[in-house]
């Protein structure tokens, strides 16, 4: 009798874990503000995750702010203030180690973790269909400087990936 009850509890627990996996991303997608950022991709294959593109962003290593690795500890949390430019692309204005108190009007704060000499925002993988892989790969290679990504950023700084855009082509999966 006890085994039956414990097993049911364990299965419910597993279901709760699976439901919790996308929880934070879903919250961000439902409540966050849409922001467009520039990206440069690399394309690997991971058996466990299917085909995906690894995306890197200008805001991960913001040159304009002379972002240097030596100033930050590995795995430390950083907050990047983004401002929209005249082309609708959001760029880094300032980086803080705590959530900034004075945020300029219209700006957005995105939270990331410092590792591998970059700030990682949990937006590194964009999963693509196997059958479209070659097409997307080719498009990215030919248009590296024009690739943009739409994301949602919530009020806590968490970000969720929405779609990849290259010129007028939209990849939304």
- Contact positions vs other proteins (CB under 8 A): 3-4, 6-11, 13-15, 17-18, 21-22, 25-26, 46-52, 74-75, 115-116, 120, 122-131, 160-161, 173
Nearer of residues 38 and 163 to other proteins, judged by Cβ: 163
Q: How far is the CB of 58 from other proteins (least distance, A)?
A: 17
Contacts 24+ apart (CB under 8 A), 141-150: 143/167, 144/40, 144/41, 147/38, 147/39, 147/40, 147/41, 148/36, 148/37, 148/38, 148/39, 148/89, 149/36, 149/37, 149/38, 149/39, 149/55, 149/57, 149/123, 150/34, 150/35, 150/36
Nearer of residues 74 and 96 to other proteins, judged by Cβ: 74
Nearer of residues 22 and 104 to other proteins, judged by Cβ: 22
Nearer of residues 90 and 114 to other proteins, judged by Cβ: 114
Q: How far is the CB of 65 from other proteins (least distance, A)?
A: 22
What is the rounded CA–CA span in Å between residue 67 and residue 117?
A: 10
Q: How far is the CB of 18 from other proteins (least distance, A)?
A: 5
List C-alpha distances in Å: 33 to 27, 149, 150: 11, 14, 10
Q: How far is the CB of 115 from other proteins (least distance, A)?
A: 6
Nearer of residues 1 and 142 to other proteins, judged by Cβ: 1
Q: Which of 172, 153, 170 is nearest to 28 (CA)?
A: 153
What pairs with residue 114 in β-bridges? 119
What is the rounded CA–CA span in Å between residue 119 and residue 137?
A: 24
Q: How far is the CB of 20 from other proteins (least distance, A)?
A: 9
């Amino acid at each position: 009798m006890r085994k039956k009850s414990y097993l049911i509890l364990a299965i419910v627990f597993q279901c709760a874990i699976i439901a919790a996996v996308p929880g934070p991303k879903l919250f961000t997608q439902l409540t966050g503000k849409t922001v467009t950022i520039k990206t440069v991709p690399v394309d690997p294959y991971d058996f466990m995750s299917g085909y995906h593109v690894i995306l890197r962003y200008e805001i991960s290593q913001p040159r304009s702010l002379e972002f240097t690795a030596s100033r930050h500890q590995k795995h430390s949390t950083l907050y990047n203030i983004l401002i929209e430019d005249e082309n609708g692309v959001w760029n880094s204005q300032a980086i803080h180690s705590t959530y900034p108190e004075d945020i300029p009007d219209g700006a957005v704060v995105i939270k990331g973790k410092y590792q591998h000499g970059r700030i990682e925002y949990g937006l590194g993988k964009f999963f693509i269909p196997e059958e479209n892989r070659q097409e997307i790969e080719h498009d990215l290679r030919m248009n590296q400087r024009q690739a943009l990504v739409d994301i949602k950023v919530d009020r806590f700084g968490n970000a969720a990936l929405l779609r990849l855009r290259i010129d007028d082509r939209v990849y939304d999966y």
